[in-house]
Amino acid sequence: MSRQAFDYIIVGAGSAGCVLANRLTEDGKASVLLLETGGSDRSIFIQMPTALSIPMNTQKYAWQFETEPEPGLDNRRMHCPRGKVLGGSSSINGMVYVRGHARDFDEWEAEGAEGWNYAQCLPYFKKAETWAFGGNDYRGDQGPLGVNNGNQMQNPLYRAFIDAGVEAGYFATEDYNAAQQEGFGAMHMTVKNGRRWSTANAYLRPAMSRSNLTLVTQALVHRVLLEGKTATGVEYERGGQVHQVTANKEVLLCAGSIGSPHLLQLSGIGKPEVLKKAGIPVLHALPGVGENLQDHLEFYFQFRCKQPVSLNRQLGLWSRFKIGARWILTKKGLGATNHFESCGFIRSKAGVEWPDLQYHFLPAAMRYDGKEAFAGDGFQLHIGHNKPKSRGRVHVQSADPRQPPSILFNYLQAEEDREGFRDCVRLTREIIAQPAMDAYRGAEIQPGEAVQTDAEIDAFVRQAVESAYHPSCSCKMGVDAEAVVDPQTRVQGLQGLRVVDSSIFPTIPNGNLNAPTIMVAERAADLIRGLEPLEASQAPVSMDASWQERQRPGKPQRSL
């Protein structure tokens, strides 16, 4: 079998892989092979922001993983889609751009990821983006990733929600991705000129004309090839033919928080008892592979709307045709937004230092997957407790790379997580009861006014919560016994192998994960090339100085 050789082999053309493919080829010195199991991202359903529910639920564009029965959710199996297309999950996600709170990254460093504190990560967030409203100490204006606010909150419900948050005693925040995350304000999305601005559009497409980048799609990677404790290449299958390729420098796994631990395990790298159970020889014992799995849960808090302003009246066939036609012709209108144009980040109680609850506001009442909507006008808030204590795992089941891994998040196993969702229900009701919502607030559809006690809320949550599609932390970065990669993103105990994607987060940030995944890849690209890191930022972070005594600035609340 002939073996081609490249300096770097990247597995996965997703949110991180596309960034690495661009950065590692931009100086023309290194040859790079980028392998992707999926294919083209040219579909209108991927490129049109309002169609976001379609690719996520389409086998062609996403791995349709399911969890094992989740004990904390009445043994429900939860949907866990992951991108299987150029751009990966950035081509199927909700396009919400949230970096996370500054303290999330300081927490990473405290967990052993030296050099990944906020001051050192912020320059890479800036490097990645072009913020529609110009650069400053916190926002970039020359990066590949286009970020804006969609249609600028033209629907009055967006502003009413922000005003209600302020009336309830919370901060207003001008830019939650800048100095102050905590509060209510406009939400940001990865959309440029009316199109989904995935990493395929932002990073990969500009690099595809370079002679030192080779892209191979429809390629299922079987395993990383090892010689002793050195990764020498990968084996993959395409069109029924098995190929082996050599990496002169490094193999870079960017297959995501499900795919990367699974591929390590298929390669004989992981917890010995898990590998042996699957019939895979142990080539390198690394007990943390697939452990520490974390995710965000959310549910929809739904209300009827008293005024005819919601998007529910835009869901008919004729309305959808007009929205689609306008987008095709102009890339404007309701087709050019994900519709999450206002948001909130709050702390669940006094004694919580930075926000752990997140709101996405939608001026419609419908399911996130687009399968159901109710008759009449409505609005909803996607609300979740974003700093879970529960931990799960990803375990290989077979040496056959086509068999999906066993996934168990252990959702809501920690009492703190269950308490967090009780806070979600009670605090949300108080916010929506504010005068700013009086003109719009109708009857509560879900959870429903009958759901009041802790036991009633817990029962509702077990049945109603859904994944926010943020699996992470399953190959965590650090220096302890459970760490899979070191702070340079190198797999512990091996040469020539790194993992660069959301699986290496030590803990899950308070927010959507695409932005921090791209940041991780930008910083990792410099580490891989041996470049000096960007100069650490001196930009200050705004915090509520009285966080220990109060849950929000306007109203003293109960302590932990």
Catalytic residues: 470
**DSSP line for 97-129:** -----HHHHHHHHHTT-TT-SHHHHHHHHHHHE
Best CA proximity match to 62, nearest among 44, 86, 78: 86
- Only one residue has tokens 């050789």, namely 5
Torsion of CA 382, 19, 146, 519, to 10 degrees: 60
Provide the annotated binding site for FAD. 7-36, 85, 93-96, 221
Q: Which two tokens stand for residue 90?
A: 């950035």
What 3-state class would DSSP assign to 86? coil
Contact between 552 and 169 under an 8 Å Cβ cutoff? The reply is yes
Q: Which residues are annotated as a binding site?
A: 7-36, 85, 93-96, 221
For residue 64, count CB atoms less than 10 angstroms from its CB and return exposed for 0-12, middle for 13-18, buried for 19 or more: middle
Q: How far apart are CA 555 and CA 183, in angstroms?
A: 14
Euclidean distance between CA atoms 436 and 166, whole angstroms: 9
Residue 108 neighbours by CB distance under 10 Å? 28
Distance CA 116, CA 110 (A): 9
**End-to-end alpha carbon distance in the chain:** 63
Specify the 3-state DSSP secondary structure of 473.
coil
d(CA 272, CA 42): 42
Token pair for residue 301?
Answer: 């808090």
Q: Give 231-244 as a DSSP string.
A: EEEEEEEETTEEEE
Give the pairing of strands 378-385 and 393-395: unpaired
Amino acid at 259: G
Q: What is the DSSP letter of 164?
A: H
- Amino acid of residue 261: P
**Cα separations (Å) of 536 from 112, 120, 123, 124, 177?**
18, 5, 7, 10, 17
Three-state DSSP state, 174 = coil
